[in-house]
């Protein structure tokens, strides 16, 4: 079965950086889209970044464009999200997700196309 495990969350001061990781198993690495979502307290989950594990094409939400960077390590079957210039509004539970499909170039994958989810890692910015 597919497993996605996030780590690296924590509490940081505004303006600082943090990197979260998603270690995968059961993923056909190189043939699927992966992404990062976040869910602030009392709000719905939203996609903030995605990357194709084969082509490395990416998509970012406007709210994190220029501050966050998604990357992958094929050898470790691991996806990362480097978060710079963190703001209090970035406080959320951050989730790793994977699709059975490849990413679409230039746009985010439809929400209904995300099939596998991790348990999340908490990021708190104060």
- Taking residues 96-108, report their average pLDDT: 91
Asked if residue 82 has pLDDT above 90, the reply is yes
pLDDT of residue 126: 96
Give the tokens for residue 85.
């210039």
CB atoms within 10 A of CB 25: 11
pLDDT tens readout for residues 8-53: 999 999 999 999 999 999 988 889 999 999 999 999 999 999 999 9
3-state SS string for the chain: CCEEEEECCEEECCCCCEEEEEEEECCCCCCCEEEEEEECCCCCCEEEEEEECCCCCEEECCCCCCCEEEEEEHHHCEEEEEECCCCHHHCEEEEEEEECCCCCCCCCCCHHHEEEECCCEEEEEC
CB 81 within 8 A of CB 68: yes
Q: What are phi and psi of 112, to 5 degrees?
A: -70, -10
Percent of the chain at pLDDT exceeding 90: 87
CB 41 within 8 A of CB 56: no
Give the tokens for residue 65.
């464009």
pLDDT of residue 95: 98
Mean pLDDT over all residues of the chain?
95
The larger pLDDT score, comparing residue 43 to residue 109, is at 43
């Amino acid at each position: 079965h597919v497993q996605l495990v996030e780590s690296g969350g924590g509490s940081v001061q505004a303006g600082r950086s943090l990197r979260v990781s998603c270690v995968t198993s059961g993923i056909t690495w190189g043939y699927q889209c992966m992404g990062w979502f976040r869910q602030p307290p009392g709000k719905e989950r939203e996609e903030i970044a995605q990357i194709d594990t084969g082509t490395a094409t990416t998509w970012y939400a406007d709210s994190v464009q220029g501050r966050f960077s998604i990357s992958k390590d094929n050898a470790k079957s691991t996806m990362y999200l480097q978060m710079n210039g963190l703001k209090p509004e970035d406080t959320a539970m951050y989730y790793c997700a994977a699709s059975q499909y490849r990413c679409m170039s230039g746009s985010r994958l439809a929400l209904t196309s995300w099939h596998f989810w991790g348990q999340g890692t908490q990021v708190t910015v104060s």
